[in-house]
Amino acid sequence: MIIVLDRAIRDDDKDRLRRFLTDKGFQVREIVGEEETIFGAVGLVGIDLREVEIQPGVVRVIPISKPYKLASRELKKNDTVIDLGPIKIGGPRIVVIAGPCAVESESQVMETAELVRNSGAVILRGGAFKPRTSPYAFQGLGEEGLRYLKAAGERFGMPVISEIVAPHQVDLFRDYVDLYQIGARNMQNFELLKAVGATGSPVMLKRGQSATIEEWLMAAEYLLAHGAENVVLCERGIRTFETYTRNTLDISSIPIVKKLSHLPVIADPSHATGIRDKVLPMALAAVAAGADGLMIEVHPRPDEALSDGPQSLFPVQFEKLMRDIEALSPVVGKEVSRIPHVRTKGGGGAGRTNKPRRAGEPGEAGDGRMLIAFQGARGAYSEMALRRYFHNESFTPFACRHFRDVFEAVLGGDAAYGIIPIENSLAGSVHENYDLVLRYPDLKIIGETKLRVEHSLIGVPGATFEGITAVYSHPQALAQCDDYLREHATWELTPFYDTAGSVAHIADEGNLAHAAIANAQAAEVYGMAVLKEGIETNPRNYTRFVVLAGTDEAEVPDANMASLVFSTPDQPGALFAAMKIMAEASLNLKKLESRPIAGRPWQYMFYVDVEIPTSQEGYAAALTMLEAAVEDLRVLGTYRAN
């Protein structure tokens, strides 16, 4: 049952209610949400719900209809997000787990770990105990393999996962892995599920070869009921009549399970297809279907692999897959998870801390959560981008009225970081922010994220299309929805300073005849109703945001992009000379734009974005040569571009 608690419930009443339920034989879990706090109570015993409803501090009691109680979306409306060291699984991110099918040697797993880490994987996989159909096949290195796997994970800063095959191995695995894996063959090994669940450790549960979705969720229920709180579900294909692939990847299970359960769901296209050329398209299909992550087998030399070589990707294939996932992720509203780099100075921020800031330090709220500044009202696209980029951190959004206020907040220490839009795929550069970046030399760009712009028509609850007379939004949003608004020519279009602010405005008014255009999340923030989604004229509408920090916190060791600005001497070929230096240093030019220099009519600064090669020596040499060839060269920031 779900027990909704009064927001003002006293601690002693809460403790008394918990004791009452446990004495009746129920397992009790407290779930704190944004809107309400609940107790989830499950057990084999029956009870009259009225006995619970009359307890002090109880608002209402709701029975759970699904047989899988703790895994059910009925118990927990919000997605579960699992902390795994610096990585979070679930929510607005795509986590990629990669590595060899089996750990074959220390050198092999070290080499593979470096390859997949450099390409973007964040969790290292590798089998030490291999359940094989043939008793004569390679069975793994056992504990020796676990030692090699752990050493590789520690060396490259990656949590590790490996498959456990028997209950007596629980204590052994505890010393080596961050995430237990229960394979398809053991999905209904209930004694193993009980033993692993009792550890309370994070665990990934693969779907059985012939298991229904409900059987899969009931297996997860075993883990949850015996103490596990962090369970990841993995769709790895089911056995069907088809023989062209090893298994049939049931992509439809991903959105189904995400509707039925709050647990994160990832896909394993390597085991599903058994053919490396099929892994890439099926991985992208799983991401498009809503998977929270992927598990991919990679081997430096698949032809020499002792296990599952035909389905293991070559390093170059995995690198391409990661680029494709990065291109696809904004379309599905997610961000590819990255291992945060550790900053050498300062503290706090985007998974880049050596130690947490103390409450009350600059850039933090009173509760110790760091403040991150953005322009607009709550629910703005900038806040959505902020939440995507800082998804690994505990933070409080700090709304600013103007873009300049964001810069001032970071510079003055009122916010730890700031995020601003810099470029739109349809409207082009946000020139005001390019100019502000130049005017605030004590701030640097340390990161970027891209967000798809999806506009919705939002009204007061109870509003109808027939009753609307006026629509509020930012002028750019109104223009981007021109085709839809032309169909409603009688509506009066009223420009507003901000999309989310226009939603706040109609919420304050409470006028059923007034609507706003903004993202659907803004409707949730202000308790408004989405009347129609996807009203933008061009669905290929993306905005690129950059993250700002103080210069003492702007070091990004794994940077692959640099933003520069400079002017050139007033002579023929000056810009060409600068471009030639970059070309000869193999710096791929991604953007070139000119802006007028304030106070110097008809003279211009050039803003340049360049890709930094893996070896940064050429980049450093090019900067030295540019300083001699141009005027007023400034590095606005080096960062990791997705």
Query: Which residues are known to be catalytic?
Result: 543, 545
Residue 370 to residues 70, 350, 390, 415: CA-CA distances in angstroms?
32, 10, 11, 7
Torsions phi, psi of 448, nearest 5? -145, 160
Token pair recorded at residue 155: 């060396």
CB 236 within 8 A of CB 265: no
Token pair recorded at residue 426: 């349809």
Residue 401 to residues 76, 388, 405, 519: CA-CA distances in angstroms?
35, 21, 7, 18
Smallest CA-to-CA distance from 199 within 225, 218, 174 is with: 174
Rounded CA separation 3/41 (Å): 8
Burial of 5 from C-beta contacts in 10 A (0-12 / 13-18 / 19+):
buried
Q: How many CA atoms lie within 13 A of 366 on its CB side?
A: 0
As beta bridge partners, residue 83 has 88
Residue 569 in 3-state DSSP?
Answer: coil
Burial of 23 from C-beta contacts in 10 A (0-12 / 13-18 / 19+):
exposed
CB 247 within 8 A of CB 236: yes
Token pair recorded at residue 587: 């710096």
Cβ-proximal residues to 360 (8 Å cutoff; 6+ apart), any chain: 366
Smallest CA-to-CA distance from 439 within 599, 562, 624 is with: 599
> Pairing mode, if any, of strands 265-267 and 231-235?
parallel
CB count within 10 Å of CB 159 equals 19
Rounded CA separation 245/496 (Å): 55
CB 377 within 8 A of CB 504: yes
Residue 320 to residues 99, 325, 340, 351: CA-CA distances in angstroms?
15, 9, 21, 26
CB 211 within 8 A of CB 187: yes
Rounded CA separation 46/604 (Å): 77
Burial of 573 from C-beta contacts in 10 A (0-12 / 13-18 / 19+):
exposed
User: Rg for the chain (alpha carbons), in Å?
Assistant: 27
Q: How many CA atoms lie within 13 A of 580 on its CB side?
A: 7
Cβ-proximal residues to 547 (8 Å cutoff; 6+ apart), any chain: 350, 389, 417, 418, 419, 445, 446, 447, 448, 449, 639
Residue 284 sits at the vertex; the CA angle it makes with 300 and 235, to the nearest 5 degrees, is 85
Residue carrying structure tokens 């009223």:
494
Q: How many CA atoms lie within 13 A of 162 on its CB side?
A: 34
